């Protein structure tokens, strides 16, 4: 078997739920939902759900109270980010001990670059190493670029291995909707379908000029490239660096008083400023998210005159952005995010 370069995408199965189940073995096999303070009567959303809970239609981002209605017998647990970060670091350290280049993509996923004649054997080695060190299972996608490796993982779940390359790209992907592609969401897929490109094959066959005219000179051709399965062919070991730091609060009672809204925004902005200072990188842009009752979300942002870590400047920018929201509807969630300058 000839040796060649491969990219593997490692995705930890039901990561947050798996960490919690490892801490509470008695919950294995039961529907587990993690989010907020773990109280489904409070306003918060699902961070993740175990596979048993997903069988009831519970998904990440769903309000906890909806999850409780769908599965009254589910076990609800509070979110514990420090614990997940610790386990994630343990997993990534384990991957770095293998003969691969590791590119961390988040808590629960990473790309691996490797030169091997048997990528499936390497993927199985990855799974054994992660399981032995952490007790967690992972799915591994194998590809000739990052896009195909990432999508292959979806076919591998849970705890499997799948190869997706130029050779089997169209047989596997042709009849799938365009939002099956990494980088195309539901809204874009709807617009593509309205233009006559409902499937990956239809998008791949589209003319570059027509796509550019309808979706822009950059995005249009890029959508076509995704449909052909093009992606990065190199993995870098550059450490994962977050693009920003943010904080948000879901209020148990809607906020209607402008003074209270401004006060809560200030609290969030100052916490974000502390995160920015801890990160050691200045903020270049400040973003504010407002979720109005009953469940309508808007986001506005402001580019700062110059990158800064000054708490007063970040708070001032957040207050300026807040003024850009129209209306005086009740607010159920506020969020502030500081984005770092692009490298």
**CATH code of the domain covering residue 50:** 3.30.70.270
* SS3 category, 213: helix
Which domain range does residue 202 map to?
170-227
Please tell me whether residues 16 and 144 are part of one structural domain. Answer: yes
Q: d(Cα 118, Cα 295) in Å, to the nearest integer?
A: 49
pLDDT in tens, 230-266: 999 999 887 667 789 999 988 888 999 999 999 999 9
User: Are 183 and 291 members of one domain?
Assistant: no
163 and 174 housed in the same domain: no
In a domain, 237, yes or no: no
pTM of the model: 0.78
Model pLDDT for residues 140-188, shown as the tens digit of each residue: 999 999 999 999 999 999 999 999 999 999 999 999 999 999 999 999 9
Q: Which residues does residue 142 pair with via DSSP β-bridges, in sequence order?
A: 8, 163
Q: Are residues 151 and 300 in the same domain?
A: no
Residues 45 and 174 in one domain: no
Omega of the bond prior to 264 within 30 degrees of 0, cis? Answer: no
On whether residue 239 sits in a domain, the answer given is no
> Catalytic residue positions?
109
Token duo for residue 46: 């699902």
User: Could you give the percent of the chain with pLDDT greater than 70?
Assistant: 98
Is there a single domain that holds both residue 189 and residue 111? no
Report which DSSP code applies to 111.
E
Q: Is residue 235 part of a domain?
A: no
Are 61 and 97 within one domain?
Answer: yes
Residue 259 forms part of a structural domain: yes
223 and 257 in a single domain? The answer is no
Q: How confident is the model at residue 343 (pLDDT cuts 50, 70, 90)?
A: low
- Phi and psi dihedrals of 238, rounded to 5? -55, 130
DSSP 8-state class, residue 45: B
CATH number of the domain to which 262 belongs: 3.30.1490.100
Within this chain, do residues 19 and 111 fall inside the same structural domain, yes or no?
yes
Residue 236 covered by a domain: no
pLDDT, tens only, 58-73: 999 899 999 999 999 9
> Domain holding 216: CATH number?
1.10.150.20
214 found inside a domain: yes
Would strands 101-106 and 109-116 be described as parallel, antiparallel, or unpaired? antiparallel
208 and 262 belong to one structural domain: no
Indicate if the alpha-carbon torsion angle 189, 182, 17, 107 is positive or negative: negative
Helix axes 15-23 and 81-96, enclosed angle (nearest 10): 100
- Statement to judge: residues 210 and 113 lie in one domain: no
The total of structural domains in the chain comes to: 3
Q: Render pLDDT for 177-224 as a digit per residue (tens, 0 to 9).
A: 999 999 999 999 999 999 999 999 999 999 999 999 999 999 999 999
| Residue 233, domain member (yes or no) | no
CA distance 227 to 173: 9
* 96 and 22 within one domain: yes
3-state secondary structure (DSSP) of residue 62: coil
Classified as helix, coil or strand, 100 is coil
């Amino acid at each position: 078997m000839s040796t060649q370069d491969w990219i593997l995408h490692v995705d930890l199965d039901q990561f947050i739920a798996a960490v919690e189940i490892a801490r509470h073995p008695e919950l294995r096999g039961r529907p587990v939902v993690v989010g907020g303070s773990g109280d489904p009567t409070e306003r918060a959303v699902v961070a993740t759900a175990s596979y048993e809970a997903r069988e009831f239609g519970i998904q990440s981002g769903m309000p906890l109270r909806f999850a409780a209605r769908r599965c009254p017998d589910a076990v609800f647990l509070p979110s514990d980010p420090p614990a997940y970060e610790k386990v994630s670091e343990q997993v990534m350290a384990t991957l770095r001990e293998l003969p691969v280049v590791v590119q961390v993509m988040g808590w629960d996923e990473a790309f691996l670059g490797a030169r091997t004649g048997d990528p499936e054997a390497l993927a199985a080695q990855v799974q054994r190493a992660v399981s032995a060190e952490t007790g967690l299972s992972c799915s591994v996608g194998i590809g000739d670029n990052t896009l195909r490796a990432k999508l292959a993982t979806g076919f591998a779940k849970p705890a499997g291995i799948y190869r997706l390359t130029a050779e089997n790209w169209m047989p596997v992907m042709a009849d799938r909707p365009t939002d099956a592609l990494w980088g195309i969401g539901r809204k874009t897929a709807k617009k593509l379908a309205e233009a006559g490109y409902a499937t990956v094959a239809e998008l791949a066959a589209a003319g570059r000029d027509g796509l550019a005219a309808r979706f822009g000179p950059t995005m249009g051709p890029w959508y076509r490239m995704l449909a052909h399965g093009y992606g990065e062919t190199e993995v870098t070991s550059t450490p994962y660096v977050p693009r920003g730091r943010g904080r948000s609060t879901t209020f148990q009672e809607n906020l209607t008083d402008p003074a209270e809204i401004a006060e809560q925004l200030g609290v969030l902005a100052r916490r974000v400023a502390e995160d920015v200072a801890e990160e050691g990188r200045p903020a270049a842009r400040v973003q504010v998210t407002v979720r109005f009752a009953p469940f309508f979300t808007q986001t506005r942002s402001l580019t700062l005159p110059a990158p800064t870590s000054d708490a007063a400047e970040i708070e001032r920018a957040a207050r300026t952005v807040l003024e850009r929201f129209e209306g005086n509807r009740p607010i159920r969630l506020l969020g502030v995010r500081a984005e770092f300058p692009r490298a």
